[in-house]
Amino acid sequence: MSRFAELPTLQRSVVILKDVLDESLIEISSLLDLTVDAVKGHLARGRAHLREINAHGRALPDAPPASAAVARYVALFNQRDWDGLRALLADDVELHQSLHPLRVGRADVGLFFTLYAKIDGVSLAPAWLEGREVIAVFEDRADPKPSYIMWVEWRDGQISFIRDYRYIRYVTTDAELTLAPEAKPADDGAAQ
């Protein structure tokens, strides 16, 4: 993600405003004093440039073990213990997903797990992306590469922030994600 800094300023601004902050094309054009067509062009070039930068990225060192908090989140998710995950949410937790409105609060963010409960075959594994601990999401347990990532932050033992990259997968498509040691997607026997 630090590779955003390698993009030209307008491309970086448009990509971050659209794909990270989920601003509309019209809002971005107004903020940057550009036409909507210009915003679309910068967005397309920025996304392509980011893929190129990621394809030529440097090799990362071996990943450290997963933190206890992330290992617990992953274990509860893979066991489909949705109530256990909801119990970890802070009262003021925030959930960010592009294409969806911001969710705030334990009750609203708790619905996030209800949505995943309806999807068969998804499993998680602790991972590292450019020095940041993340969660690798596998939609197919047989796939050696995760489909996308989640980023979870903790405060006082509770989840305070979740960013789900399900709808902007290209952000990490070519990034060098390293699974934490002994981390692998759960097999069918682990999700009980």
Q: What is the pLDDT of residues 129-165, one digit of tens each?
A: 877 899 999 988 777 788 889 999 999 999 999 999 8
- CA 177 to CA 146: how far, in whole Å? 9
Are residues 39 and 120 located together in one domain of the fold? no
Query: What pLDDT does 142 receive?
Result: 76
In a domain, 191, yes or no: no
Are residues 37 and 91 located together in one domain of the fold? no
Are residues 74 and 23 located together in one domain of the fold? no
Range from 48-57, 62-71, 123-132, 134-143 carrying the lowest mean pLDDT = 48-57
Q: Between 128 and 63, whose confidence is greater?
A: 128
What confidence tier does 190 reach under pLDDT thresholds 50, 70, 90? very low
Domain of residue 18, residue span:
2-55
Instruction: List Cα–Cα distances, 138 to 73, 132, 148, in angstroms.
Output: 15, 18, 7
**Total number of domains constituting the chain:** 2
In a domain, 101, yes or no: yes
Report the DSSP beta bridge partners of residue 133: 128
Q: Is the pLDDT score of 100 beyond 90?
A: no
Are residues 48 and 88 located together in one domain of the fold? no
Q: Is the pLDDT score of 69 beyond 80?
A: yes
Are residues 87 and 37 located together in one domain of the fold? no
> What does the pLDDT look like over 12-35, one tens digit per residue?
888 888 887 888 999 999 999 999
In a domain, 186, yes or no: no
- Across 91-110, average pLDDT: 91
- Average pLDDT of the residues of the chain: 84
CATH number at residue 164: 3.10.450.50
Query: What pLDDT does 188 receive?
Result: 39
Beta carbons of 149 and 162 less than 8 angstroms apart? no
- CA 31 to CA 40: how far, in whole Å? 14
Query: What pLDDT does 135 receive?
Result: 93
In a domain, 60, yes or no: no
